Amino acid sequence: MKMERVFTSKLKPFLDAVAGQMDLYVHKKSGQHYVFSAYDPSAATEVEFNNIRACTPVKEFLFPLCELAAVFPEPLEPEDIKPFAVFGLKDCDLRSIEVLDKVFLEDEFKDPFYVARREKMFIISSDCFEPGESCFCNILDGQPYAESGFDLNVSQVKDGYIIEAGSQKGKDFLEKHPELFTDTPEGALAERDKIRAETKKKLEQQNAELKFDTPIRDVMTATQDTDIYDEEAKTCVECQACTRVCPTCHCFYLYDTKQKDYFSKMKMWDSCMRMSYAQVAGGENPRRILGDRLKHRLMHKLAYFVDRYGINMCVGCGRCVDAEAGAIDIRNVLKKLNEQLKGKKEAKVAK
Amino acid sequence: MNRNLYQPINGQITDIIDESPTIKTFVIKPENNFKFETGQFVELTLPGEGEAPFTPSSSPTVTEQMDITIMKTGRVTGLLHECQKGQKVGVRGPYGNGYPVDNFAGRDVYIVGGGVGLAPIRSLFLTLVDRIKDFKSVVCRYGAKTPDDFIYKNTLFGPWQKIDGVDIKLTVDKANGQTSASSVEPWKDNVGVVTTILDPNDVNIKNAVAVVCGPPIMMKFATMKLLEFGFTPKDIYLSMEKNMSCGFGKCGHCMIGKYYVCKDGPVFTYEQLKDYPNIWA
């Protein structure tokens, strides 16, 4: 049997085998959303196959909310990171890791804590089959199934699960456990492709109104002087939830603390929506106005990051839409910007 | 583990010089020799209290210690001002790009500075003076609020003005009847903001570069004036002050458009920044 693509009718033995080698996290339903939860091999029931991404971001595993960054005068002994796996990640999650990799694995300045966790992470992704209301990955080069960026990918079909290896680590795992798998039954692959195409179509229908004739990056830069951001920001209550749940937001704040016999430097998530985020010591603040902060956040994601790293910093997961306390919906903002640009162009032609 | 980017080098404050009522220069001796290029900055940690970015004001040829001139303006700088000799500190860096001094060779260097903005400029000035023959001229126009607010008074009012190839003019916003610190004479130089002592004939604009460093409002008006004189945006070098925290283009606090001031700057040409919003605030 070729171990690059295998089949299993039950998930539990497969996940038990993963959990036998490393810490395993799975998706668990909490209310109407999924959250990450430690896998419990003693549970008798089959683990749930999540149809959609979790509402919390996968960045938590690589870039924790708060961590110790340095201790002095005597330097820090590095924390021993144990290997861990996360099951059920979606294509948008994998692309958010790609974004974080660009930032934290940058050649000259590798973040040692991110590197340590990233090296120990085993990624098991799975296909989406029922996109959420806020999902719009198809607008931002995404799709409801992963084709790269995973160690293993799981696709659910009627009689079981197709598991594919996407890395040497993944292949090694499958080869180590031939007893768990069989050959992929005839027709299963065609069935998977049909499900994938149908899900993709659902997404496209759902986001049919979001159509851009101009690349989004150019829409953003061409409408920089707009007052749309100020208008949109009127309902923002500055709770910063959008930046917390965003899987690609990676701003952090360094602060110093005094312990009994040493000093430490801590690294904690920050938010560019925070009023004093960019303020300097003399009190000058380039983005005192909330609309300017919203503009910077979206420009960073869809223009500045693209200019710098060549990919979008928004993966279209819709988490910020779900977490929104006011009425800002990134899809509406994009739609309005696009309409304004079209209007500008038409006015130019009319002249 | 990879080198920990967040780990400061231990150091100590070995001397403190009062420059003005709100500005002090701290001489800092790191445990190991510390190399930087003029215009690069460091993150200085007051252990247990906080960290802030400063551009050393000393010459980069000195590696066993560095001068950091600090204005009391926020929490960390306020605490630093209360420190005594012997205080332990941490230093990370150097970060950023520094001034492209080699590109200035054969040209007039037109330096416009204000207030504590003279700190990074002092390091640049010492670097230029070290090889003064490489430049057509070094023309400096400095402003301060009052005569007392000038920093580096002992050298600024005397020896620096006598260096061959250097032309320095000073101005104050208000003379207040005060005297220049180096003499008992009343203030005889110009009164007015720094743009009032800029003259298109100060340098040969076609073959000059301008370097601007000071408070944001001064940088804005000085840049506008230089453009009016005919400087092209790519020949105006700005030393940007933003909230640089990590120092290596990740934490996001110092972003201007696609640039991280800490990594791509702090020295930018006006050409690089002119199309982004809110660059002066």
Residues of B in contact with A109 (CB under 8 A): 5, 248-250, 263
A300 shares contact with chain B (CB less than 8 Å): yes
> B274 in a domain, yes or no?
no
Question: Is A169 within a domain?
Answer: yes
| Interchain pair A256, B51: CB under 8 A | yes
Shared domain check, B79 and B105:
no
Say yes or no for a CB contact (<8 Å) between A282 and B215. yes
The pLDDT of residue A44 is: 72
**Domain presence at residue B281:** no
Domain boundary pick from A179, A206, A233: A206
**Residue A211 forms part of a structural domain:** no
User: Which pLDDT tens digit goes with each residue over B207-262?
Assistant: 999 999 999 999 999 999 999 999 999 999 999 999 999 999 999 999 999 999 99
User: Given A206, A231, A252, which residue is the final one in a domain?
Assistant: A206
B46 and B169 part of one domain: no
Q: Kindly report the length of chain B.
A: 281
Range of the domain at B159: 101-239
* Among candidates A257, A279, A296 on the partner chain, residue whose Cβ is nearest the Cβ of B243: A279
Q: Where residue B34 sits, what CATH number does that domain have?
A: 2.40.30.10
How many helices (H) does chain A have, and how many strands (E)? 12, 10
Residue A100 sits in the same domain as residue A169? yes
Nearest C-alpha neighbor of B270 from the set B77, B112, B78, B37: B112
pLDDT of A238: 95
Range of the domain at A334: 216-350
Q: For A234-282, where are the alpha helices, taking DSSP H only? A: 241-245
CA distance B280 to A54: 41
User: Which chain B residue lies closest to A112 (C-alpha atoms)?
Assistant: B2
Q: What are phi and psi of A296, to 5 degrees?
A: -60, -40
Alpha helices in A1-90 (DSSP H): 12-21
With respect to residue A241, please indicate whether it lies within any of the assigned structural domains.
yes
For residue B68, count CB atoms less than 10 angstroms from its CB and return exposed for 0-12, middle for 13-18, buried for 19 or more.
buried
ipTM beyond cut 0.90: yes
Same domain, B143 and B200: yes
Residues of chain B with pLDDT under 50: none
Domain assignment of residue B123, yes or no: yes
Q: Are A106 and A21 contained in the same domain? A: yes
Count Cα neighbours of A82 within 13 Å in the Cβ-side half-sphere.
7
Share of chain A residues as helix, strand and coil, in percent rounded to the nearest 5? 40, 20, 40
Q: Are residues A196 and A220 in the same domain?
A: no
Q: Which of A206, A235, A268 is the last residue of a domain?
A: A206
* Residue/partner pairs of B126-133 with CB below 8 Å, 24 or more apart: B126/B38, B126/B58, B126/B59, B127/B38, B127/B59, B127/B60, B127/B99, B127/B101, B128/B101, B128/B104, B129/B160, B129/B163, B129/B166, B130/B59, B130/B61, B132/B163, B132/B164, B132/B165, B132/B166, B133/B165
Same domain, B110 and B86: no
Chain B contact for A66 (CB, 8 A cutoff): no
- Looking at the structure, tell me whether residues B52 and B158 fall in a common domain: no
Q: Does residue A17 share a domain with residue A149?
A: yes
Cβ contact, residue pair B255, A279, below 8 Å: no
B43 and B89: one domain?
yes
A166 vs chain B: nearest CA distance in angstroms? 26
Q: Measured between CB atoms, which of B2, B8, B49 is closest to A72? A: B8
Answer yes or no: do B242 and A265 touch at CB < 8 A: no
Q: Are A55 and A158 within one domain?
A: yes
pLDDT (0 to 100) of residue B278? 86
Please indicate, yes or no, if residue B255 is contained in any of the structural domains. no
- Model pLDDT, residue B188: 85
Nearest CA in chain B to A295: B277
| Pair (A102, A251) in one structural domain | no
> CB atoms < 10 A from the CB of A291, how many?
18
Q: Is residue B159 part of a domain?
A: yes
Residues B55 and B144 in one domain: no
Using alpha carbons only, give the angle B197, B199, B203 rounded to the nearest 5 degrees: 120
Question: Which CATH number belongs to the domain containing residue B178 in this structure?
Answer: 3.40.50.80
The segments of chain A whose pLDDT lies below 70 read 1-2
> How many domains is chain A partitioned into structurally?
2
What pLDDT is stored for residue B273 in this prediction?
A: 96
The encoded tokens of residue B196 equal 């009032």
User: Do A47 and A96 belong to one domain?
Assistant: yes
A5 to A163, A193, A349, B223: CA distances (angstroms): 6, 14, 54, 63
Final residue belonging to a domain, choices B95, B123, B142: B95
Pick from B251, B254, B262 the residue to mutate for testing the A interface (most A CBs within 10 Å).
B251
Same domain, B115 and B167: yes
B139 and B165 belong to one structural domain: yes
Q: How many CB pairs under 8 A join A and B?
A: 130
- For chain B, how many structural domains are there in total? 2
Give the end of a domain, one of B239, B257, B274.
B239
Same domain, A274 and A198: no
- CB within 8 A of B17, min separation 6: which ones? B24, B25, B27
Q: How far apart are the first and last CA of chain A?
A: 68
Nearest chain A residue to B241 by CA distance is A280
Based on the domain organization, do A284 and A181 belong to the same domain? no
Q: Has residue B17 been placed in a domain?
A: yes
Say yes or no: A163 and A190 in one domain: yes
Residues B138 and B228 placed together within one structural domain of the fold: yes
Give whole-number Cα distances, B261 to A125, A166, B34, B54, B96, in Å: 37, 38, 22, 13, 8
B6, A254 Cβ separation under 8 angstroms: yes
Domain boundary among B95, B127, B159: B95
- Average pLDDT of the residues of chain B: 93
Same domain, B130 and B170: yes
Judge if A234 and A180 occupy the same domain: no
pLDDT of amino acid B181: 54
Cβ contact A277–B3 (<8 Å): no
B37 and B161, same structural domain?
no
* E strand intervals along chain A: 5-8, 23-30, 33-38, 66-72, 84-89, 121-126, 152-157, 160-165, 252-258, 263-269
3-class secondary-structure state, position B114: strand
A197 in a structural domain:
yes
| Chain B CA closest to residue A105 | B250
Q: How far apart are CA A2 and CA B265, in angstroms?
A: 53
Is A256's Cβ below 8 Å from some Cβ in B?
yes
